[in-house]
Structure 1
């Protein structure tokens, strides 16, 4: 958007803003971001990490604090411009989970658009909640009535279990209900947005767009390895990849939030020892010492590289990467398929199970792991699936086909490109 001449004021909460800025090389946001982009922050209404860990308090604080602070921020920006209204805020583009921002926009007479960073099918599951309640599948607080085990929104959209609705896996019933009503309010507010954009392509999820034709894909939008990260990445892994043979490296990452427990972590480490292939493992900071202890002599050697964060878009584009063992977060999924990389799917949370269904069942570009009776993935299963995937030329060929489909959609004249350009044109008008 900035490259098209739009002036962007990017609003994060204070705590996220600090993490993003501190993760930038040299801590200098000005050296990385276009002059048309300004990073700012507003408080989230919480005083401590303990409060942030309490989902009910967090959601209540968001709604109590952030709408007023966003309005205050916008009025301050407009007032600072004085008679020059060319720099006034003319549109709010908000994450779909922050639907209250659309309410602020409408109150202030500002145009509003919503951006959904997940799969369109995940959004479709949320948008279908009123129907699910009317059909007696959910009650008014979002709890399953036990009427069905699987939800089929339409042919072509992967079926999903009730437990994989965004709020359904929270163990505390009160917090589960709070999140359901927060999502319901956000979804309702988003209905009056002028545009609803999402990070996918028509060709990846055609059935969802047949069900919700007003939802417009502009992606996949790939991550930026320098700006917008939560942690500084270790770029030494790129030099390490340069030393590896083409399509030889297993890349492992579970993203920013997901973390394996101690027993599962140990099984994965032992499985990686069995594969007899070079691997690059991104390990969350809670487990980085444990990982390096599991490979004390090789953790930075010829066949093993362990880092606490990586420039993922560059890693996945590297010719040495053979496959991606992933938690199946949508950003990771889109980055992988945009580079034609086959997947080993290990979902952990909510929409990641739906994403796995796309990868394994719809697009057929990856394989999933089977759980043992104790509920974990055993070391032998890790080694078996790595070998099975890397010897499957059909999956590799299909991954390249999906890559080409995405490239066409994002290229000039492709549908995602057209939607994005039309949106930018609308903002300028």
Structure 2
């Protein structure tokens, strides 16, 4: 009996690749063959990072298709990237499926497409070629529910036809869900003025195609988001996902981090990381560095490649020493699981949020764009496992300035807050139960695996 082969298609960004790679490893462990489809640029980044670390992808077959942008074009401009791949990738995906399934070897043919719900345009392509389809939501269930409810939000007068808020103030989609300001809807915090309509139209197209998925799983926990999941009963949480295999990082991980953490006292280290896209100016990085130094605590700070100039990065490294350590990328799940880590200063990306939940780490929230403000609302207002960094006007996009004294004071406030720490530990236990024997996520994952493996022939 041949094992089924699936294509896995993430949105072409680091925060989407990682959880879908974790899901892919889980599929492989249960006898499913996985072909992981990256854009050509991301494919090269991942292979380059793996070569540096001398690692392999644990049985994941990596392939790539073009995103339509040329060499050197700015792929951090999500509006430009979205406009390009929306035109080019459907045809390229179709050619890939045709090529794989035309080789005459029945056991190598693709039977499923598991696509990021942000790439739901791929479902009609898959159906055209007889593939079964499943969706994967890499964000919170609340984010997915809000996206799906855009037509109702328009008819209720919350949004206009372009996705812009028609009124200012707090908005809550349903009880037990986080509230956010209407200025912080993710589609209006994802790009510049030119790119926002492109992002919004992609969401509407994806919404229209989502019904073609036989099932949708998300990287969340039933008990963590009951209000949101009640609005989308066809979405099944299987998180928090994790893997001890490489997860498709775009940059090589600094292998010295574990040893450095081993040398620090328990619950002493401030871990600082802002993900793969957040960008802050040199002045803000200086204020952050000085604020960290003012705490008189050891800190591990990820400043990813390309986020600041090499000369400035070297200055930050020298200023941080000897108490702090600045690295370009690190094994974040291992860092957050380390007994030396006391708190996490974060952009509130969903992967980072779930990794902190899994390890019981309190959060200091500094969101930058997209769904990060909604995630901050969960952390600070619903779960109460973290505090907000007070942002001046414009700080969310790197133009305002958060001073060093603010950084120091909020870190100290968080680390003095024993109740917040206790709530973070309670969520850690909740997550452990969810993925353990008989847990809600374990049951959902088993059901999903059974669906995919049921296509064996």
**The one of 56, 71, 83 aligned to 2:94:** 71
User: Taking structure 1 as reference, are residues 308 and 156 closer, same or farther at Cα in structure 2, changes over 3 Å only?
Assistant: same
User: Taking structure 1 as reference, are residues 189 and 232 closer, same or farther at Cα in structure 2, changes over 3 Å only?
Assistant: same
Deviation sequence 1:290-322 (CA, Å, 0-9, x none): 3542452653x3x21111111111111111111
TM-score, normalization: structure 1?
0.93
Q: Which has the higher contact order (CA 8 A, sep 6+)?
A: 2
User: Taking structure 1 as reference, are residues 373 and 417 closer, same or farther at Cα in structure 2, changes over 3 Å only?
Assistant: closer
The answer to whether the 8 A contact 1:225-1:311 is kept is no
Q: How many residues align?
A: 421
**C-alpha displacement at 1:372, in angstroms?**
5.0
The answer to whether the 8 A contact 2:80-2:195 is kept is no
- Aligned residue for 2:113, secondary structure, equals strand
The answer to whether the 8 A contact 1:269-1:291 is kept is no
The answer to whether the 8 A contact 2:265-2:340 is kept is yes
Name the residue aligned to 1:356: 376
**C-alpha displacement at 1:373, in angstroms?**
7.5
**The one of 423, 431, 440 aligned to 1:406:** 431
Aligned-partner Cα distance in 2 for 1:47–1:127: 32
**The one of 175, 181, 193 aligned to 1:161:** 181
Q: Does 1:6 align with 2:26?
A: no
Name the residue aligned to 1:44: 67
**C-alpha displacement at 1:164, in angstroms?**
1.9
User: Taking structure 1 as reference, are residues 207 and 297 closer, same or farther at Cα in structure 2, changes over 3 Å only?
Assistant: closer
Name the residue aligned to 1:88: 109
What are the ranges of 5 or more consecutive residues in structure 1 without an aligned counterpart? none
Q: Does 1:316 align with 2:336?
A: yes
Aligned-partner Cα distance in 2 for 1:294–1:9: 40
**C-alpha displacement at 1:107, in angstroms?**
1.4
Aligned-partner Cα distance in 2 for 1:242–1:351: 34
**The one of 247, 254, 262 aligned to 1:227:** 247
Name the residue aligned to 1:264: 284
RMSD: 2.0
User: Taking structure 1 as reference, are residues 424 and 166 closer, same or farther at Cα in structure 2, changes over 3 Å only?
Assistant: same
The answer to whether the 8 A contact 1:326-1:345 is kept is yes
**C-alpha displacement at 1:389, in angstroms?**
1.3
Q: Does 1:333 align with 2:357?
A: no
TM-score, normalization: structure 2?
0.87
Name the residue aligned to 1:208: 228
User: Taking structure 1 as reference, are residues 318 and 289 closer, same or farther at Cα in structure 2, changes over 3 Å only?
Assistant: farther
**C-alpha displacement at 1:370, in angstroms?**
1.9
**C-alpha displacement at 1:349, in angstroms?**
0.8
